[in-house]
Every structure is written in structure tokens, then in C-alpha cells.
Amino acid sequence: MATQPAPIDAAAALQGNFDFAASGRRVIAIEADGLQAVAARLDGAFTAACRAMLACRGRVVCSGMGKSGHVARKIAATLASTGTPAFYVHPGEAAHGDLGMITDADIVLALSYSGESDELLMVLPVLKRQGNLLIAMTGRPGSSLAREADVHLDASVPAEACPLALAPTASTTAALALGDALAVALLEARGFTAEDFARSHPAGALGRRLLLHIRDVMHAGDEVPRVRETATLSETLVEMSRKRLGMSAIVDADGRLLGLYTDGDLRRTLDDASIDMRSTRIGSVMTKSPKVIGADALAVEAAQLMEHHKINALLVVDDERRVVGALNIHDLLRARVV
């Protein structure tokens, strides 16, 4: 049993007579001890739970009351986003119709630290008759829920961090970590990849980084500024002004890339008094080996290329170096890639 700190008046605490940091460190130390205890007990039951969930033809239905219910919701969300179909069912609502959400192909993961939650125990007979495999996560291996379970995961902790031993603290942390352990073990066993994760998070930053390709953000067709190498510098500037990408591709008769001329090149050209804007051919002042990218590359690769080479725009070419598109840093900003 953890030693309870001496009570202190709230007014005295506000006056600086209470060591909040020491209290916080005590809580974290107690919860760390709880996690170590759970980790030391991971054994065949954990393996059996993982194998059952991996082989499940339906979904993993997570359930629990109170704080255990909040943890069960998070476990369901983590499982679902890492390749294991899962959802949460409130046990009280389950007894009033939501049991119809659970099919005979599903596995039920029930959380209750005491293992005596009335709401969970009430729906067990229905689940048993339906043939659902039951995985219980409790802090009492001898509890009713643990005895009824096909697989029991022992989530007991030496002590709660709450000095009154009333508020679930270390126990909920342990249950949450055990749920994460299940999800990650299944993720690794399934060969789940970052691309798989991105597909379930298309609106997030990772989804944009891993699902958005150059073809999705580039300008194509008539939007791409391009001139022949025989064009004059002034004609190139007109094309750049019309297309407003801060650059122009210089191409041959077949559309293959010969070079690039950018706003930066223009500034350098203006510093050279020997260059006549109307008569100078763009082929004599263009950059002959510009950085390019393919349409199948990820948009984030364009951002990395621009950052590495300190450039603001890129041409998109095919396998034969024909110019098929163009993009600049503003296109990536609008797509929220950077």
C-alpha cells in the first residue's frame, strides 16, 4: 500500500506550502511501477489474445463502464486505425438493444478492473449463447468476468496513484498500455505500413504526406509555361507572366526539356548590362540541368527537393523527359504538404 501524503489545507497550498512537482513525480513513479508489473506478466494469454484477434473474421468489440469505458473507447480507436477493425459498445446500452451491433463473427474485449461490473456481466450470457470469444482485461484474475472469459489479461497494478486508493489512475494507465501493446503487436504481425495508416487518416498530415502525389497538385496542359529555345528573353517573360508560376520550361519540338528559366534567373540577367532583353535567345541564358520530378512521386518529395536545393519551383517530366507539369511552393502550401 502506497504511503498517503499528509493532508494539507488548499489555502496553504496556494501560498506555496505544497510541493506540486513532488506529488507529480510520485504519481508517475507509481504508474511506472504498475506498467512494469503488467509487462512482466505478458505471457501465453497475451499471445492467445493476439492470435484470436488476428484471426477474427469480424471486428473487435471493446466495452467497459466508467473510466474503463473511456479506456475501451481509446483501445477500439487505436485498433481500428492500425489495421484491426474495432468499435466500442457501451455495456449499458448493449442491454437495451445495442447487442444487435455484435455479430457471431466478432470478438469481445471487456474491460473492468474489479471484474465485477454488473453491466458487463449482464450481457455475458447473450454473448456466450451467440458464440463470441471473450477476452477480459481485469485487475482480479479470480473475478467473475475473468472466470467467464476465454482469455484473461491480468492488468493488475501494485497500487493506485490516488492517495485515497479510490480514483482509477495507475490501473487505467496499465489498461491503456496493455491495449496499445495488443494494437502494436497486431500491427507488426499484420505487416501494417505507414501507407496503410495514412489510408485511414486521409485528412491528417500523415495522409497528405503519404497519399498526395505530384499529379494531384501540379499544373498541367496549357497551364505549364513553356517556350522553344529560339524564343527571345522578352517572349519568355511574357509566357512567365501569363502562367504566373515564376518560371518557364524551355523545350524542343517534341516537348522534351532543354532547360529552365526562373524569376531568380531574371534578377541575375538584369544585373548583366550586356544582355539585351529583346534579342537574346532564351537558350543562351537558361539553366540547362534543372531539378525535375516525376508525376508519380509523392508531393512531399517535391517539398524535400525544393528545401534541399533552395528552389521554389519544379518541372514535372515523364520517362522521356517530356514536360508534363509544373508546380511551385505555393501549390504545396495550398495542398498543406508543407
What is the C-alpha separation between 305 and 54, in angstroms, rounded?
Answer: 40
Least confident of 90-94, 189-193, 285-289: 189-193
**How is residue 306 written as a grid cell?**
525544393
What is the C-alpha separation between 113 and 42, in angstroms, rounded?
Answer: 17
Residue with cell 497550498: 13
The answer to whether residues 300 and 236 touch, using CB atoms and an 8 Å cutoff, is no
What is the C-alpha separation between 152 and 141, in angstroms, rounded?
Answer: 7
Res 90: pLDDT: 96
Give per-residue pLDDT as tens, 206-262.
556 667 889 999 999 999 999 999 999 999 999 999 999 999 999 999 999 999 999
Q: Does this model's pTM top 0.75? A: no
What is the C-alpha separation between 17 and 189, in angstroms, rounded?
Answer: 52
163: left (phi over 0), alpha (psi -120 to 50) or beta: alpha
**What is the secondary structure of 61-130 as a DSSP string?**
EEEESHHHHHHHHHHHHHHHHTT--EEE--HHHHTTTGGGG--TT-EEEEE-SSS--HHHHHHHHHHHHH
Q: Which residues pair with residue 107 across a beta bridge?
A: 60, 133
Res 126: pLDDT: 94
Percent of the chain clearing pLDDT 90 (strictly above): 72
Give per-residue pLDDT as tens, 26-74.
999 999 999 999 999 999 999 999 999 999 999 999 999 999 999 999 9
